Amino acid sequence: MGDCYERNGFNFSTSKVAYYTVCVNEAMKKSVQSVFTCRDLTEDLWPMVMKYDRQVYPTLDRERILRAWFCAEGSRAMVAFRGNQVVGYGSIHEKPHQEYSLKNVFADDESVVEAILRELFKEVPEGRLAHFEKDEGKPMPKYLEHSVSRFDFTGIRMYNKYPLETIGDKMWLTSAAIL
């Protein structure tokens, strides 16, 4: 299908993602010792979050869309620090039917992902489902491996407006509408 678009002059880039669901359980909410400090995203942290986001999207200012996602009713965003340095961020929002969705969990490494997710899941009642997307090229974070209740499906996301420059090493869990 991509060849057809290309022959007709449409520029595009794609990424392959897999959609997963986890059932939040007691072990996922348990506090553990961590070298990271996690804080709820507040106005004073936005400049640092945007600086970190530029490490993933160096040519795109995503502040407006991130504010729309992270500040919406039913959303919670978390920022992870090592000392005074931002090492990741992520968000969760409540969906209809008492389900949740993880969005944009970006982190320096898998241990930061775990710290962020533990904090985000603390306020989610046990037994609730949380949905997320993971780039197929990225390994499943070990923290989630044993909790994934099902693999829903895979998809190819196609972007046809203009090519986006991304640096994917910090992208762990993504969202369908990355812009």
pLDDT, tens digit (0-9, with 9 covering 90-100), for 120-138? 999 999 999 999 988 777 8
Could you tell me whether strands 99-107 and 129-135 are parallel, antiparallel, or unpaired per DSSP bridges?
parallel
Q: Give me the pLDDT at residue 18, please.
A: 82
pLDDT exceeding 90 applies to what percent of the chain?
55
Long-range (24+ apart) CB contacts under 8 A made by 5-11 are 5/158, 5/160, 10/160, 11/160, 11/162, 11/163
Q: Give me the pLDDT at residue 91, please.
A: 96
Of the segments 77-81, 128-132, 155-159, which one has the largest average pLDDT value? 77-81
**Residue, of 146 and 55, whose pLDDT is higher:** 55
Q: Give me the pLDDT at residue 13, please.
A: 60
Q: Give me the pLDDT at residue 151, please.
A: 61
Selected from 3.80.10.10, 3.40.50.2300, 3.10.450.30, 3.40.630.30, the CATH number assigned to the domain covering 30-174 reads: 3.40.630.30
pLDDT band at residue 14 under the 50/70/90 scheme? low
What number is the average pLDDT over the span 19-27?
91
Where along the chain do its domains lie?
30-174
Place of tokens 């010792």: 33
What number is the average pLDDT over the span 83-103?
95
Place of tokens 């990271």: 36
What number is the average pLDDT over the span 140-152?
77
